[in-house]
Each structure stands twice: as C-alpha cells, then as structure tokens.
Amino acid sequence: AVNNQTLQITTHGSDWYWAVCAVMVCSTFAFMGLAVTKPRTQRIFHYITAAITMVASIAYFSMGSNLGWTPIPVEFHRNTPQAHGNYREIFYVRYIDWFITTPLLLLDLLLTAALPWPTLMYVILLDWVMIVTGLVGALVASGYKWGYFAFGCAALAYIVYVLVFEARKHANAMGRDVGKAFTYCGSLTTLLWILYPIAWGLCEGGNVIHPDSEAIFYGILDLFAKPVFGALLIWGHRGIDPARLGL
C-alpha cells in the first residue's frame, strides 16, 4: 500500500543530513585532537563528548543515505487533509542515537556538578524512559501516541528539575569556575531539550511539517546540543582538574 504518492519522504533533506554528518565527524576529530594534548588523567570530558559526536556521525550517515526509517500510517495528511491511508517516513535511527548520546550528555553535565552516582543512575533511567516512549509513540499508528508522548514529557520535566535545581546548587558549591561551566552548559541543555518534544509534536506526532523541514529542525537542534554544547563544556573545563570533581 506504500507508494510514492502517499509516502512523504525527504528529498532535499538528504543533503542537509550529509552536511550535519560532516560537522559531527569534524567535531569528533577536534575533540579527540584536544584530548591527546592533555595528560591522560585530564581527558574524561573530551572522551565523553567525542563519543557523543561520533555516534551522531553514524546516525546522520544513515539519514543522509535515506536509511534507518520506516513508513508509518498517519491519519492527518498535510497536503490532503481529507485523505486517509497516507504514510510518513519515521526515522527510528534518531532514537538509537539519542538512547546512547543523551545519557552521555547528562553524564557530561552531572559529572561536572559532581552529583553522587545514584542520582546519576536514576536521571539516566528517566532519560531512557523519555527516549523509549518517544520511539514507541512515533511508531504506533494511533492517537495513543500522545499518551506515550505525555509519559516522555513527564520524564523530561523531572530531568529538567534535577538540572535546574539540584545539579546547579551542587555545581556552585564546587567552586565558581565549576558553577560557571555548569550554568552555561546546563542552561543551553535545558533550553534545547524543551524544543525536542515541540519538534516531535510537529513531525512524528502530528505530521504537521514535511520531513524536509523535520530534517532542518532536528538538525539544528542536534548541532547545538552536541558540537556546540561539547565545545562549550570542554572550554568550561579548562583549568578545572577532574580530580577536584572526584574523577
């Protein structure tokens, strides 16, 4: 039942996906290059950050090649609202990327704030709940997808609470430089992460914007959430000895 008339597929998006892939690859080399200029005991944040852009490179390689997606029936069609039996291209590969990289981003932030490991573990657990509910919601062809979305948003609300209150307080207590590094990176993360469910609602959820626009929206978010965040974090850690954070 899937043909070119009824499947909304990205065409121009592919070039943009390749461009983002290139930035992710270059950032990975840059972060690893910076790592090897430091003694081994000073490299932890470089390694975590490089791992994030490395995984994203592969996800964007997949999407640039128009792989890692599956057609999902949508009830509302953006061009022909009266039509039923239409399909949208859903990139499940994003969620495999996010399942690996969002815990690493949280690790970057929570290790900076020197939170105890049990806190780290349950924030990451909630993060996994958020990503998996987003994936299931994107793949199910029914209005129940918004139920999964609501569970995911509740998980995000808890993560934001930990970042804005507990982790910020903890980071400030570790010293002015740590507090500053955390405030920059934590604020960027809080702002960006709240935009992801908005993108989801317009793309996977409501099928309001075309997959070409989805490519731009998620692409810009990912560029800020990974390479820009990573550069800011590594810059923030100049002059901070990881030993001071118990690492």
Alpha-carbon span 182 to 15, nearest angstrom: 34
User: Per CB under 6 A, which of residues 134..163 are in contact with ligand RET?
Assistant: 134, 149, 152-153, 156
Here's the x/- map for ligand RET, 67-96, by CB under 6 A: it reads as ------------------------------
Listed ranges 83-91, 118-126, 129-137, 176-184: which one lies at the site for ligand RET (CB under 6 A): 129-137
Question: Which among 222, 217, 209, 219 has a CA at the least distance from the CA of 88?
Answer: 209
Please say which residue, 83 or 150, places its beta carbon nearer to ligand RET: 150
Within 10 angstroms of residue 141's Cβ, the number of other Cβ atoms is 12
- Residue 238, judged by CB atoms within 10 A of its CB (0-12, 13-18, 19+), counts as exposed
| Residues 105-124 as x/- pattern, contact with ligand RET by CB under 6 A | x-------------------
Q: Tell me which residues in 211-240 interact with ligand RET (CB under 6 A).
A: 222, 225-226
What's the closest the beta carbon of residue 23 comes to ligand RET, in angstroms?
Answer: 12
**Alpha helices, H only, 36-116:** 44-64, 93-112
Residue 131: other Cβ atoms inside 10 A = 21
Does position 200 interact with ligand RET (CB under 6 A)? The reply is yes
Interface with ligand RET (CB under 6 A), residue from 101, 168, 230, 240: 101
Q: What angle, rounded to 10 degrees, do the helices at 13-35 and 211-223 form?
A: 10
Min dist CB 41 to ligand RET, Å, is 28
Classify residue 31 by burial, with Cβ atoms within 10 Å: 0-12, 13-18, 19+: buried
Q: Name the residue among 162, 103, 100 with its Cα closest to residue 127.
A: 103
CB of 135 to ligand RET, least distance (A): 7
Binding mask 178-197 for ligand RET (x = CB under 6 A): ---------------x--xx
Give contact residues for ligand RET (rule: CB under 6 A): 98, 101-102, 105, 130-131, 133-134, 149, 152-153, 156, 193, 196-197, 200, 222, 225-226
